[in-house]
Amino acid sequence: MSLFKQGRYSGYLRPISYLIDLSIINGLAIFYFFKNIDPAVFVIFMSTAWIILSIYSKFYEVYRFTREMTIFSLTLRQMMLFLLIVFAFVGYNHNLDIFPLTIFKYVLATFFLIAFFKFALYYLLQKYRTSFGGNYRKTVIFGANKKTLALQEFFNKNPEYGYVHKKTFNFREKREMSLSECFDFILKEQIDEIYCSISELTNHQLNEISDFADNNLKILKFLPDNKEIYSKKLKYEYYDYIPILSLRNIPLEDSINMVLKRSFDIIFSSFVIVFILSWLTPIIAIFIKLESKGPVFFKQSRNGFNYKEFDCYKFRSMMPNQDAHLYQATRGDERVTKMGRFIRKTSIDELPQFFNVLFGDMSIVGPRPHMVSHTSIYAKRIDKFMVRHFVKPGITGLAQISGFRGEIESDKDIIGRVKYDIFYIENWSLLLDIRIIFRTFMNAVRGDEKAY
């Protein structure tokens, strides 16, 4: 399983920064405006305004390669916009009798404290990387020229950014070097990020590297030039003054989106568990037990986020059998009980997976997880199948509401499923999740023809 694992970005840093900044904003407000404002109203309004403003201004989009001047300019711009919001709040509530000088003092104090903590966190992370070797990412570069050598020098001379450069592959000096040797090195050294000079590689080589990165969960980035590159989305970034293109921009790698999706999962799954499963489970359990001997719940190992295995739960819909972990249900499958046909047709058998969501192994919406035996087969046979594991698996997904649920009868089915799953990963939004959940509910009410 370690073949497909890689390091991840520190997902908690941005939420922690939000928490610190909101504490400063609201704490100082109570100190400056204690006698004039309703604390509850101010906290709700200013916290909401700050979050919306931060998303719009990209205030928290600070990465390991971001320069200090960029951080300072982001902070200054954020404070100027925040000053306008505070004036608007006070102007709307003109009865508060807050003087402009007080507002300026409050925003200035907020600016200095937020800037202090922002830079403190930035430098502490750099110190942590240089002194303890933590929070780092291993890199390789394909192709040797002025741009790649400059990037290599950047990695080697700036350990505070947390990059450990392992090797630069020079295809000019050693034409006989095969990409398979490079791929073996990447897997052996557990490389996290691959950087490619487009001018040093052929289109065929670029496609091979792209497929390898997707199928092995490696982050792929390009040093741009005038050569054409085929990809759906490109994210443009700067490492110092070196332009870098990322092949795939995944919204759910953003910490705020992760927190937003996880919060939605917890609230929604808790609601289902408390108000539906609490009374439905005993009823389903009685019918399952009356028809056949065996457990009420069925547990099966499946591959989830970053290819990690977890136990996926369902209401048992089959007679206990040794093939349950090897072969999925087919049309007219004799293993499926009468009660099983009903709960599979209505998708009730999937409801225990809301516990998987609550435990953090799954999300409500995402690529459907496959049996471990099937995942190993598809990973080798189906191109870009492993991209599905960049996010948590879901109880339902875009592929499922688009006609690709249930039995895999041919490669066409799994290829279609992968296509929709990749589209979901690259275009995630909370609104898309809600739309998928609604469509799933409607399909369950009508009964899906592929649910058997």
pLDDT greater than 80 at residue 2: no
Query: Angle CA(387)–CA(311)–CA(6) in degrees, nearest 5?
Result: 35
8 A C-beta contact, residue 90 and residue 96: yes
8 A C-beta contact, residue 92 and residue 84: no
Q: Residue 97 CB: number of other CB atoms within 10 A?
A: 10
Which H or E run contains 167? Answer: strand 163-169
Q: Which residue has the higher pLDDT, 449 or 376?
A: 376
Domains assigned to the chain? 2-132 (no CATH), 137-249 (3.40.50.150), 255-446 (no CATH)
Q: Length of the chain, please? A: 452
Tokens 């999740």, located at residue: 433
- Provide mean pLDDT across the span 140-167: 89
8 A C-beta contact, residue 150 and residue 46: no
15-67 tens-digit pLDDT:
888 999 999 998 898 888 767 677 788 888 888 999 988 888 888 888 777 77
Strand ranges, E, within 198-257: 219-223, 235-239, 242-246
- Provide mean pLDDT across the span 331-352: 84
Distance CA 121, CA 111 (A): 15
Q: What's the pLDDT at 226?
A: 52
Q: What's the pLDDT at 334?
A: 75
Phi then psi dihedrals of residue 392, to 5 deg: -70, 145
Its pTM stands at 0.65
8 A C-beta contact, residue 197 and residue 148: yes
Name the pLDDT band for 281 (thresholds 50, 70, 90).
Answer: very high
Q: Which residue has the higher pLDDT, 238 or 295?
A: 295
Q: What's the pLDDT at 220?
A: 92
Distance CA 40, CA 35 (A): 13
Residue 432 CB partners (closer than 8 Å, separation 6+):
365, 398, 424
Distance CA 110, CA 29 (A): 9
Q: Cα torsion for 284, 287, 289, 291, to the nearest 10°? A: -140
Q: Which residue has the higher pLDDT, 206 or 8?
A: 206
pLDDT greater than 70 at residue 174: no
Q: What's the pLDDT at 116?
A: 94
Describe the chain by its helix, strand, coil percentages, rounded to 5.
Answer: 60, 10, 30
What is the DSSP code (8-state) at residue 298? E
Phi then psi dihedrals of residue 242, to 5 deg: -100, 120
8 A C-beta contact, residue 19 and residue 51: no
Q: What's the pLDDT at 351?
A: 95
